[in-house]
Amino acid sequence: MKLIHAPTSPFVRKVMAVAHETGLAGRIEIAFNGASPLQRDPALVGHNPLGKIPALILDDGSTLYDSPVICEYLAAAAGDATIFPPAGPARWAALTRQALADGLLDAAIANRYERLLRPEDKRWQGWTDAQLAKVAGALEEIEKLAPALSADLDAPPTIGAIAIGCALGYLDFRYADLDWRQGRPAAAAWFAAFDERPSMAATRPREHVA
């Protein structure tokens, strides 16, 4: 298997955390791609027509995208029934938490692109405010979920916990000035413990060095 990858992507981190949790990390070849929303890379588009990472190229040449699909594939390939629980309340809770975390990241990344890529005279404060409101709303929900997440710290994690951990880690990486822990002690305490898992420690975001 080959993962088209960037070490700064929280969605890539989610995939690699699942790979570590399932024992499959050593079977995945890493292929760096500096995907940009403004410039489509033919090498990436050839595998994912959306031009987005992560994308997982399987041994038969087919490609899976994006992160929720890849994560579920890895769990199934490893015979893991914990990260994605079977049908029932636990599964729907895990998938909803993943959606919450992914939505937080979509908003945070959209706002980062606004600040980083759009010319300063064309930036729209209303857009920034709307994206950061989504981030704040997601953080408030994570604070409410934190006691339940903390109760499960000694158990193998679900995709919901992994996704939330990657989302909070991204805020530390790209939004240090946001101070997301302020007023959210339960979420902060859970993340401090969860981020020490070997799978999380091994996948912390970093800038790519060629």
Angle, CA 103 vertex, CA 87 and CA 34 arms, to 5°: 110
What pLDDT sits at residue 115?
A: 84
Angle between helix 67-77 and helix 89-117 axes, rounded to 10 deg: 140
What pLDDT sits at residue 38?
A: 66
| Domains identified in the chain and CATH numbers | 2-77 (3.40.30.10), 89-201 (1.20.1050.10)
pLDDT digits (tens, 9 = 90+) for 165-186: 999 999 999 999 999 999 999 9
pLDDT digits (tens, 9 = 90+) for 25-62: 999 999 998 777 767 778 888 888 988 999 999 999 99
Closest Cα to residue 188, out of 205, 171, 206?
A: 171
118 Cβ neighbours under 8 A, 6+ residues apart? none
Q: Given pLDDT bands bounded at 50, 70 and 90, which one contains residue 153? A: very high
Q: Name the residue type at position 108.
A: A
What pLDDT sits at residue 208?
A: 59
93-118 burial by CB neighbour count: b if 16+ within 10 A, else e? ebbebbebbbbbbebbbebeebeeee
The H helix count followed by the E strand count for the chain is 8, 4
174 Cβ neighbours under 8 A, 6+ residues apart? 108, 112
